[in-house]
Chain A
Amino acid sequence: MDKENNHSKSFIVSVSPHIRSDESTGRIMWSVSASLLPAVIMGAYYFGPRAIFALALCIVSSVFFEFLYLKILKKDITINDGSAFLTGLLLGMNLPASVPFYIPVAGSFFAIIITKQLFGGLGYNIFNPALIGRAFLLVSFPKLMTAWTEPSPAFIKIDAITTATPLGILKEEGYTKLIEIFGDKANLYSHLLYGNRAGCIGETSAIALLLGAAFLFYRRYITWHIPLTFIGTAALIAWIFGGNSGLFSGDPLLHILSGGMMLGAFFMATDYVTSPSMKSGQVLFGIGCGFLTMLIRLKGGYPEGVMFAILIMNCFSPLIDRGFKSKIFGAVKKK
């Protein structure tokens, strides 16, 4: 396709995000991937070579499937824009470290081919590909996808100990038991902050994820609207309804730092394609995500609800966009 020649003759209808500066889709995608690096390093440190293997397999198979699909359909090969790389990376960060090799491949296939390319490629997908990939894996292989390994900084250790995530313990055995396992509250928070806990490869280290998010804020790739309302709503609901002894006795910090909240709020819910484009709509989107997350965590069957909350809100984002239309400059208001 020769876009340069058509440029002077006709309007080009392109996919959002529309370019308003020298930023390009590729540059944003690669920057987001780079901002995930601290979390990847922490994940690799705590979960060892298997985590790196799973991550690499996710990325390679995602890029490969994207290439294959575009090649077969004779479209422009756009694997250099980094979107498939980022999808693979995010999918890998959402897997437990102990997964066998076919899980990343199946998840990447579902994320790239079914969720993204069959809907028309980058910019047309309704749902976040990485999250759909994970949802598919979680529903298909429930045992393997919840086999969490104990984090062990010793890099050589091969036999990992299976354990439960903090949220799993909270769901099954209650808050007092969770505090008992980690010693005291401060110890629990520091474990959650540094990532020394069971969970998905990339979601455990809150501090590394915050570092990456700070970079994205600095580059203005994400705004406060979705992450802050997401986490704020979740914290509020956790504080009010999350406790055992009546209202206003919950532990909001535990709910914010555990599970996939940090990864989801900063890196998944803020996906340009699947979130509303208006700021006011984004606030509603974030509140919805936070509410649904806490609903699933406190009342649902799964211990963790970030993934399903974001996916459910993804389907509402076209509706939200329609509700919060931008004011057309210079238009006369009809009476």
Chain B
Amino acid sequence: MIQKKINYYEVIKNGIFKENTIFKLALSLCPSIAVTNNLRNGVLMGTAVLFVQVMVNITISLMRHFIHPRIRLPIFMLVISGWVTITDMSMAAFAPEAYKQMGLYIQLIVAFASILARAEMFASKNRFIPSMFDGIGMGLGFLFALSLISFFRELLGKGSLWGYQIINAKPLLIFILPAGGFIAVGILMGIFNWIYGKYENKSY
């Protein structure tokens, strides 16, 4: 198999913009609504996913010659759950406060379609270094989306950022409730695609 030369910058950019997990593929929307009611949780969740995505991609791509194609999905799942367990336990040890709020969602990373999809589509077909960059790109895209959503939700819903009060006006309480999560994700998805569409048309 002849490997095409891969531009790492393009691979990362692909993960952040063209195939952004939340805004473009609309996958993994559950945590994007459940844990984004403040910026800290959003960033922590994004970081956890970034870590798991990179490590899973690296592991799968190193193991890709030893995995029999017929049982690849169970193997992928085992690898993913292994890394999620590591993340889960280290978060419980080092960030117990945040873990109390979002522990369930950290464990839910196992079921993320985006991580399994990248393992199947990219890591199992590519070498170690490109897979790592793909993981970084996809993870950064997720982190970016979650940070953006939680930034607006915390700012509008509580008037604060990272726990510090910024606006003293009466906040729109709805944005930290689940209903506001749907509204925020929908609107940000629309704005993201609008800007992205403009940018893409210009460059062509």
Contact = CB atoms under 8 A, between A and B. Distances in A.
B174 A140 contact: yes
Contacts of B173: 139-142
A142 B170 CA distance: 11
A200 to B, nearest CB: 19
A136 B174 CA distance: 7
B155 to A, nearest CB: 14
A188 interface: no
Interface in A76-118: 102, 106, 114, 118
Interface string B122-142: 000000000000000000000
B179 A139 contact: yes
Interface in A138-163: 139-142, 144
Interface in A182-218: none
B166 interface: no
A113 to B, nearest CB: 10
B172 interface: yes
A102 B170 CA distance: 10
A139 B174 contact: yes
B183 A106 contact: no
A61 to B, nearest CB: 16
B173 to A, nearest CB: 5
Interface string B164-189: 00000011111001010001000100
A114 B183 contact: yes
Nearest to B171: A140
Q: How large is the interface on B (under 10, 10 to 19, 20 to 34, 35 or more residues)?
A: 10 to 19
Contacts of A118: 190
A204 to B, nearest CB: 26
A47 B187 CA distance: 37
A141 B179 contact: no
Prevailing SS type, chain B contact patch? helix
Most interface-central of A118, A140, A141 (chain B CB within 10 A): A140
Contacts of A139: 173-174, 177, 179
A118 B170 CA distance: 25
A140 B172 contact: yes
Nearest to B170: A141
A106 B171 CA distance: 12
A139 B177 CA distance: 9
Contacts of A140: 171-174
A69 to B, nearest CB: 14
A140 B179 CA distance: 11
Interface string B145-178: 0000000000000000000000000111110010
Contacts of B171: 140
A142 B177 CA distance: 13
Nearest to B172: A140
Contacts of B183: 114
A129 to B, nearest CB: 14
A320 B170 CA distance: 40
Nearest to A102: B170
Nearest to A100: B170
A144 B172 CA distance: 12
B168 to A, nearest CB: 14
A132 B177 CA distance: 15
Contacts of A106: 172
Nearest to B177: A139
A106 B169 CA distance: 13
B181 to A, nearest CB: 13
A311 to B, nearest CB: 11
Contacts of B172: 106, 140
B195 to A, nearest CB: 16
Interface in A248-294: none
A231 B186 CA distance: 36
B52 to A, nearest CB: 34
Contacts of A141: 170, 173
14 contacts: A102-B170, A114-B187, A118-B190, A136-B174, A139-B173, A139-B174, A139-B177, A139-B179, A140-B172, A140-B173, A140-B174, A141-B173, A142-B173, A144-B170
Interface of B: 170-174, 177, 179, 183, 187, 190
Q: Which 6 A-B pairs give the minimum distances between C-beta atoms?
A: A140-B174, A140-B172, A139-B174, A140-B173, A136-B174, A139-B173
Given A118-B190, A140-B172, 16 more contacts: A102-B170, A106-B172, A114-B183, A114-B187, A136-B174, A139-B173, A139-B174, A139-B177, A139-B179, A140-B171, A140-B173, A140-B174, A141-B170, A141-B173, A142-B173, A144-B170
